[in-house]
């Protein structure tokens, strides 16, 4: 990661922490609407990789605030596909947080005289969850890379694939996170619901599974079996 992106992420973490109690105002005041605006136009000149990194943090720290909408508003671009793309990054961050909370919980909570994480059944569940979280993170990163390489008018395949993959991970990730937490994870007080409820909401926002599966499926069908491979390899490496 670049130094500029590290600094951006540090700023985002501090601002989103404040926003968690103060609302969207600190995000607006910090100028996040300028993130994607070119430097020549007085903006930050950030790329989609930067946006992905910032929104992953927002997905952890400020999942209930319209951070993605605010940043995209700076572009003056209201394309539904871009909102879907931004949502994938939020989902990737929220899933990382659900996994981190789950790992911490099972390493701390003791039952039958040992931490839950010592039980193979729990280990196997968390491994399944981790695979989904890694997949969504990879999808978000590759989608951002395509947006940077080709611009948002030619990233339709990647946005569709990434949103669909992220949607499909939501059920597994939220179910396992709650299962390994037991009753404490079902309380309003405990932090898990702060990411799992947004994940449930985001699955249906800006295109649910059926929406993107239909679009992507018809696009791939029009390519033909060999055409799919040729298209995949032509679009990335």
Partner 1 sequence: MQDFALYPFDPPGDILALRTDLRAWLAINQPEGDIVERANCWASFDTGFSRALGAAGYIGMTLPARYGGGDRHPLERYVVIEELLAAGAPVGAHWIADRQTGPLILRYGSEEQRQRYLPGIARGELYACIGLSEPGAGSDLAAVRTTARETAEGWRISGQKIWTTGAHLSHVMLALVRTEEGSERNAGLSQFLVDLDTPGITIRPIIDMAGNHDFNEVFFDDALVPHGALVGERGQGWKQVTAELGLERSGPERYLSSHALFAALIDAAGADPDPAVAALIGELAAEMWTLRQLSMSTAAKLAAGEDPMVEASVVKELGNSFEQDMPRRIQAVVTSGWEDPDDLARLLRALLIASPSFSLRGGTREVIRGIIARGLGLR
68, 71, 150 from 43: Cα distances, Å = 16, 11, 20
| CB of residue 82 to partner 1, shortest distance in Å | 18
Q: How far apart are CA 163 and CA 170, in angstroms?
A: 11
Does residue 74 touch partner 1 according to CB under 8 A?
Answer: no
Whose Cβ is closer to partner 1: residue 188's or residue 222's? Answer: 222
- Considering only residues 72, 98, 162, 192, which one is a binding residue for partner 1 as defined by CB under 8 A? 162
Q: Per-residue x/- marks for partner 1, 123-142, CB under 8 A?
A: xx-xxx-xx--xx-xxx-xx
| CB of residue 154 to partner 1, shortest distance in Å | 15
How buried is 92 (Cβ within 10 angstroms: 0-12 exposed, 13-18 middle, 19+ buried)? buried
Query: How many residues sit in the footprint of partner 1 (CB under 8 A)?
Result: 55
Which residues on neighbouring strands pair with residue 107, listed in sequence order?
none
Q: How far apart are CA 181 and CA 171, in angstroms?
A: 16
| CB of residue 122 to partner 1, shortest distance in Å | 8
Does residue 117 touch partner 1 according to CB under 8 A?
Answer: yes
Within 5-64, which residues bind partner 1 (CB under 8 A)? none
Helix 80-108, helix 156-181: angle, nearest 10: 30
- Considering only residues 100, 111, 182, 208, which one is a binding residue for partner 1 as defined by CB under 8 A? 100
Binding window for partner 1 (CB under 8 A); candidates: 5-13, 39-47, 58-66, 99-107: 99-107
| CB of residue 198 to partner 1, shortest distance in Å | 21
Q: Per-residue x/- marks for partner 1, 196-235, CB under 8 A?
A: -------------xx-xxxxxxx-xxxxxxx-xx--xx--
Binding region for partner 1 (CB under 8 A): 1, 99-100, 103, 106-107, 117-118, 120, 122-124, 126-128, 130-131, 134-135, 137-139, 141-142, 145, 157-158, 160-162, 164-165, 168, 209-210, 212-218, 220-226, 228-229, 232-233, 236-237
């Amino acid at each position: 990661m670049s130094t500029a992106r590290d600094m951006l992420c540090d700023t985002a973490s501090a601002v989103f922490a404040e926003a968690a109690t103060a609302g969207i105002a600190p995000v607006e005041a910090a100028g996040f609407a300028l993130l994607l605006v070119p430097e020549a136009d007085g903006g930050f000149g950030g790329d989609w990789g930067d946006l992905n990194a910032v929104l992953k943090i927002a997905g952890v720290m400020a999942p209930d605030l319209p951070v993605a909408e605010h940043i995209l508003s700076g572009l003056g671009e209201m394309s539904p596909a871009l909102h879907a793309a931004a949502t994938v990054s939020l989902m990737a961050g929220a899933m990382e947080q659900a996994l981190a909370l789950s790992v911490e919980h099972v390493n701390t909570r003791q039952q039958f005289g040992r931490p839950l994480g010592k039980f193979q059944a729990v280990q196997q569940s968390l491994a399944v969850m981790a695979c989904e979280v890694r997949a969504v993170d990879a999808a978000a990163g590759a989608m951002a890379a395509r947006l940077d390489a080709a611009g948002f008018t030619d990233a339709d395949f990647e946005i569709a694939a990434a949103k669909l993959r992220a949607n499909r991970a939501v059920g597994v990730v939220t179910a396992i996170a709650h299962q390994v937490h037991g009753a404490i994870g079902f309380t309003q007080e405990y932090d898990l619901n702060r990411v799992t409820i947004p994940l449930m909401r985001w699955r249906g926002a800006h295109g649910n599974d059926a929406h993107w599966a239909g679009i992507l499926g018809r696009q791939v069908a029009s390519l033909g079996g060999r055409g799919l491979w040729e298209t995949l390899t032509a679009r990335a490496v």
